[in-house]
């Protein structure tokens, strides 16, 4: 189990992480979501013991700051861009990390098998593709049978099949009663992989709750930008009603945030009222826009 209390990190004048607290129970998957610079990687590096920090972080009751080495025995870490020594083979690499992690004999070979790298076991790491290095990272993370997996943007650079394999890996760990914490900006992956979601915005938690709530609140939203043929004052109440959202006007343009499924209703209402469109633009919700949407859903 992972427990974080009032975790914070300051880079010079920038507050990268501020007063972050949450628990992750055994057998649960938590997705950390946020725009670039929101503090996702900082939080993950703090948990992995790669950064000094304020507050308290404990894995299975072991304090990461005071007993970092012991705590990291419980953590399998996968960096966003896993880096290994390029002049070692896959087998040598896994064997080396197996010794570092105090893994049992034979675990290195099993880990290579588990990620499908056995045909490449004698290849140098430098000759592996990005996807294969990601698999090697997963093999290393499994060594020593950690109870918590910490994965930093694990889907980055993976093709569709590799992402599906990653999803299977996460499910398998959850089934085995292990916890998984992963950061992502692929919002569509969240409902299928994570039980819970924690949204970071400028280093602060703006949402922490079940992934189904997160999905309902963020991924099905769109922002519509409309330029009308001179009937803007008449259109604003119509659009607000159809979109069930607040309409803002900037020059010739009006904009409204609505459920993705309500986009058509907005256009139908305008056409029915005889208001023609000169131009329009649609933005789907992303990790960058999700936090403001979720701001009111922060647990007290």
Partner 1 sequence: MTATMTIFSKELKDAVRGRWLVAFAVTFALVALALSLVQQQGGVGAQGFSRTTASLINLCLLLVPLLALILGASAIAGERDRGTLATLLAQPLSSTELVLGKYLGLTVAVWAAVMLGFGVAGFLVALVSPVTDLGHYLLFVMLSAALASAMLSIGVLISVVAGGRSQALALAVLTWFLLVLFYNLVAIGVALSIASSGEMLLAGTLLNPVEAVRILAILSLEPDLQVLGPLGSYLYLEFGAVTSALILAGSVLTWTAVPLVGAVALFRRQDA
Under the rule (CB under 8 A), what is the footprint of partner 1?
45, 48-52, 68-70, 72-73, 75, 77, 79, 81-87, 96-97, 99-102, 140, 144
Q: How far is the CB of 103 from partner 1 (least distance, A)?
A: 10
51, 9 contact by CB (below 8 A): yes
Instruction: Specify the residue, 147 or 211, whose C-beta has the smaller distance to partner 1.
Output: 147
148, 24 contact by CB (below 8 A): yes
Q: How far is the CB of 51 from partner 1 (least distance, A)?
A: 4
Instruction: Specify the residue, 98 or 173, whose C-beta has the smaller distance to partner 1.
Output: 98
Type and span of the H or E element at 267: helix 263-272
Q: How far is the CB of 79 from partner 1 (least distance, A)?
A: 6
Residue 104's CB: how many other CB atoms inside 10 A? 11
Instruction: Specify the residue, 48 or 132, whose C-beta has the smaller distance to partner 1.
Output: 48
Q: How far is the CB of 109 from partner 1 (least distance, A)?
A: 18
Instruction: Specify the residue, 81 or 281, whose C-beta has the smaller distance to partner 1.
Output: 81
Residue 281's CB: how many other CB atoms inside 10 A? 11
Q: How far is the CB of 101 from partner 1 (least distance, A)?
A: 6
Taking the C-alpha atoms of residue 89 and residue 161, their distance in angstroms, rounded to an integer, is: 24
Residue 25's CB: how many other CB atoms inside 10 A? 12
Give, in order, the Cα–Cα distances in Å from 50 to each of 65, 76, 187: 10, 13, 26
Taking the C-alpha atoms of residue 28 and residue 188, their distance in angstroms, rounded to an integer, is: 19
Instruction: Specify the residue, 96 or 253, whose C-beta has the smaller distance to partner 1.
Output: 96
Q: How far is the CB of 234 from partner 1 (least distance, A)?
A: 57
16, 42 contact by CB (below 8 A): yes
Instruction: Specify the residue, 81 or 244, whose C-beta has the smaller distance to partner 1.
Output: 81
Instruction: Name the DSSP class of 147.
Output: S
Distance of CA 140 to the CA centre of its chain: 21
Residue 164's CB: how many other CB atoms inside 10 A? 12
Q: How far is the CB of 137 from partner 1 (least distance, A)?
A: 8
Q: How far is the CB of 81 from partner 1 (least distance, A)?
A: 7
Instruction: Specify the residue, 97 or 214, whose C-beta has the smaller distance to partner 1.
Output: 97
119, 112 contact by CB (below 8 A): no
For 212, half-sphere exposure in the C-beta direction (CA atoms, 13 angstrom radius) is 0
Instruction: Specify the residue, 39 or 49, whose C-beta has the smaller distance to partner 1.
Output: 49
């Amino acid at each position: 189990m992972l427990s974080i209390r009032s975790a914070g990190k300051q880079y010079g004048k920038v507050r990268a992480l501020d007063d972050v607290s949450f628990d992750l129970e055994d057998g649960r998957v938590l997705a950390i979501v946020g725009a670039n610079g929101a503090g996702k990687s900082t939080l993950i590096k703090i948990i992995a013991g790669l950064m000094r920090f304020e507050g308290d972080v404990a894995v299975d009751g072991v304090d990461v700051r005071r007993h970092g080495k012991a705590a990291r025995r419980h953590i399998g870490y996968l960096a966003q861009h896993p880096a290994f020594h390029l002049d070692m083979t896959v087998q040598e690499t896994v064997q080396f990390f197996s010794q570092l992690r105090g893994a049992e004999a034979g675990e290195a070979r099993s880990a290579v098998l588990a990620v499908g790298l056995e045909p490449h076991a004698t290849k140098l790491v430098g000759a592996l593709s990005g996807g294969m290095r990601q698999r090697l990272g997963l093999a290393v993370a499994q060594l020593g049978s950690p109870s918590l997996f910490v994965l930093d943007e694990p889907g980055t650079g993976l093709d569709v099949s590799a992402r599906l394999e990653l999803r299977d890996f996460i499910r398998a760990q959850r089934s085995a009663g292990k916890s998984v914490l992963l950061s992502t900006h692929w919002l569509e992956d969240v409902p299928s992989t994570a039980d819970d979601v924690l949204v970071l915005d400028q280093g602060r938690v703006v949402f922490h709750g079940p992934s189904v709530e997160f999905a309902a609140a963020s991924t099905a939203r769109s922002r519509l930008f409309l330029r009308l043929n001179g009937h803007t004052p008449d259109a604003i109440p119509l659009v607000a009603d159809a979109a069930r959202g607040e309409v803002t006007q900037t020059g010739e343009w009006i904009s409204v945030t609505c459920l993705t499924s309500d986009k058509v209703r907005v256009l139908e209402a305008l056409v029915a009222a005889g208001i023609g469109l000169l131009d329009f633009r649609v933005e789907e919700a992303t990790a960058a826009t999700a936090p403001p949407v979720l701001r009111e859903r922060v647990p007290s």
